[in-house]
Amino acid sequence: DTNRGIVTTSPNLPHWHNVPLRDILADKLGVVTYLINDASAAALGEHRFGAGMGFDNIVYLTVSTGIGGGIIIGGELYSGTDGCAGEVGHMTIEADGPQCHCGNFGCLEALASGWAVAKAAIKRINNGEKSSVIELVDGRLENIAAETVAMAARRGDRLAADIVSEAAKYLGIGLANLVNIFNPELIVIGGGLSKMGDMLLKPARKVLEERAFRLPADTVRVVRARLGSNAGIVGAAAYVFAQRAETGAKA
């Protein structure tokens, strides 16, 4: 809740419930503090200084350990009523799909995030399928990560390539939903999994084109983020300047 500065819940921080983070930091640091979701901050950073410069209507996705998003409409960050807009990772993609950390089933995050990719690899290897993924982690299943699967896929591992292909399919379905809802000019993909490049994004684009309405699908471009891990920091700074400007305070 950005209005009250409270983290009401977080799927990847399970013990965080109604944490007044803004006030905690303000008390500790002795400065005026604002609260913004990390993906929304990254969206703002990419819009102002990265891949989204010059575009008014953007959807930003961070595809990493989890999946988050930020929405820019008419050149402004759209936060929703309580600052909760942009939770694209928790749209339901498959009604009876795997359970997400948020408690729902079949979320995009549970199907295409870093932890979902790693979990899929571990499950299939445990079920007896052969893969070079296990060699890359010296036989330690618990060390399998999305990066490991991507490395194996680049080397021609069939199981790894299949898992990446599945993640790309679900990501593409999510992108098609976002295109139909928001009709953006640009979709910017950031986060660790974006480093897979065309191995992930090319098939995702294909699914988008197959499933979204023709006009918005033809209009939208899907690109990788430019600011990398700095997007959130840059966007957070821009957010503070904007908030201070609104109140006439010196940033």
Q: Residue 214 corresponds to which tokens in the numbers above?
A: 């023709």
pLDDT band at 34 (very low <50, low <70, confident <90, very high): confident
Q: Write down the pTM of the prediction.
A: 0.90
Task: Report the CATH number of the 36-247 domain.
Answer: 3.30.420.40
Residue 251 has pLDDT above 70, yes or no: no
Q: Which long-range contacts (CB under 8 A, 24 or more apart) does 245-251 make?
A: 249/32
Domain limits of the chain?
36-247
How far is the CA of 229 from the CAs of 42, 142, 186, 209, in angstroms? 9, 25, 20, 28
Write out pLDDT tens, residues 97-143.
999 999 999 999 999 999 999 999 999 999 999 999 999 999 999 99
Burial class (CB in 10 A: 0-12, 13-18, 19+), 89: buried
Average pLDDT, the chain: 93
Q: Residue 209 corresponds to which tokens in the numbers above?
A: 């084109």
Write out pLDDT tens, residues 205-225.
999 999 999 999 999 999 999
* Active site amino acids: 38
